[in-house]
């Protein structure tokens, strides 16, 4: 059976979102057009940014309905990324917080998609 390895986010401007994710992921898209941009991550997962104005069928929800998770090694990395993302001006939905699964914060991309950085509690 096929295994999912492709995430699509519906965005207002693929060019603007590609510039944002190029900075966030420290890589350039492997494909870019006026309506779509594609990143291939080291894990093999693909992240597509599709214009919400041209996606077929039209999307009912275009931002904030899910999260991209960024697991990191420890609390110090969470704090360092929080500072870097604040310095970059990303809107912060949740500052660094200890939750039952670990230490985390949540920021938003330009289209309101949630970006959760977390370090799992190791028991």
From the list 42, 41, 53, the residue with the least C-alpha distance to 10 is 53
Residue 81 to residue 97: CA distance in whole angstroms: 13
CATH code of 77's domain: 3.10.180.10
Q: Are residues 112 and 73 in the same domain?
A: yes
| pLDDT value at residue 64 | 80
**Residues of the domain holding 94:** 67-120
pLDDT digits (tens, 9 = 90+) for 3-17: 889 999 999 999 999
Q: Give residues with Cβ within 8 angstroms of 51, minimum separation 6.
A: 10, 11, 12, 13, 14, 34, 35, 36
Q: Are residues 38 and 81 in the same domain?
A: no
What mean pLDDT, rounded, does the chain reach?
A: 94
- 43/14 same-domain check: yes
Q: Work out the average pLDDT over 12-27.
A: 97
Compute the distance between CA of residue 90 and CA of residue 113 in angstroms, rounded to an integer.
Answer: 11
Contact residues for 5 (Cβ-Cβ < 8 A; gap 6+) = 44, 45, 46
CA atoms of 105 and 52, how far apart (whole Å): 27
Average pLDDT for residues 83-90, to the nearest whole number?
Answer: 97
Whether residue 79 is contained in a domain is answered as yes
71 with 47, same domain: the answer is no
Global confidence as pTM: 0.89
Q: Is the pLDDT of residue 123 over 80?
A: no
Q: How many domains does the chain have?
A: 2
């Amino acid at each position: 059976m096929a295994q999912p390895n492709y995430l699509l986010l519906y965005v207002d401007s693929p060019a603007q979102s590609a510039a944002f994710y190029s900075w966030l992921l420290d890589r350039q898209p492997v494909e870019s057009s006026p309506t779509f941009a594609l990143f291939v991550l080291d894990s093999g997962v693909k992240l597509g940014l599709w214009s919400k104005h041209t996606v077929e069928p039209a999307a009912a929800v275009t931002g904030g309905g899910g999260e991209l998770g960024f697991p990191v090694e420890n609390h110090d990395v969470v704090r360092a990324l929080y500072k870097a993302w604040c310095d970059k001006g990303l809107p912060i939905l949740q500052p660094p917080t200890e939750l039952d699964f670990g230490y985390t914060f949540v920021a938003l991309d330009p289209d309101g998609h949630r970006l959760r950085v977390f370090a799992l509690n190791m028991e």
